[in-house]
Amino acid sequence: MTKADQVTGELLAVRCPSKNCTDVVVPLVTGRIAPHVATAGAARGRCPWTGIRVVDDRTPFHSENAELCLTEPITLDDWRLQS
C-alpha cells in the first residue's frame, strides 16, 4: 500500500515493512519513513524502520538494462583495485 501525489507521482506514504507495524501506513518525510510507534510484538515503542530511505521501484524495468548484469563477475580483489 502506497500513497502518491496524483500530479507529480511522488510517494507520500508507504506501509511500514516491520512485522511489528501490522498494516500501518506511514508518511514519508524527505523520502524517509516518518517516526511512528510499533504497535505489536516485542518492539513496542519507536519502530526501528523509522528514518529508513524508501526507494521508489515503480519504474518499469527495461530489458536492455539486463545486458549490464551479464558482464564478467567482479572479484573482491578487482573491486579493491578499482577503489
Q: What predicted TM-score, i.e. pTM, was given to this entire model?
A: 0.62
Task: Please report the DSSP string for 13-49 in residue order.
Answer: EEE---TTSTT-EEEEETTEEPP-EE-SSTT-EE-TT
Q: Which domain holds residue 44?
A: 2-82
User: What's the structural domain count of the chain?
Assistant: 1
Mean pLDDT of 44-55: 86
What is each CA distance from 80 to 31, 70, 76, 77, in whole angstroms?
A: 31, 21, 6, 5
Summarize pLDDT for 71-83 with one digit per residue, the tens: 555 566 655 555 4
Higher pLDDT, 23 or 42: 23
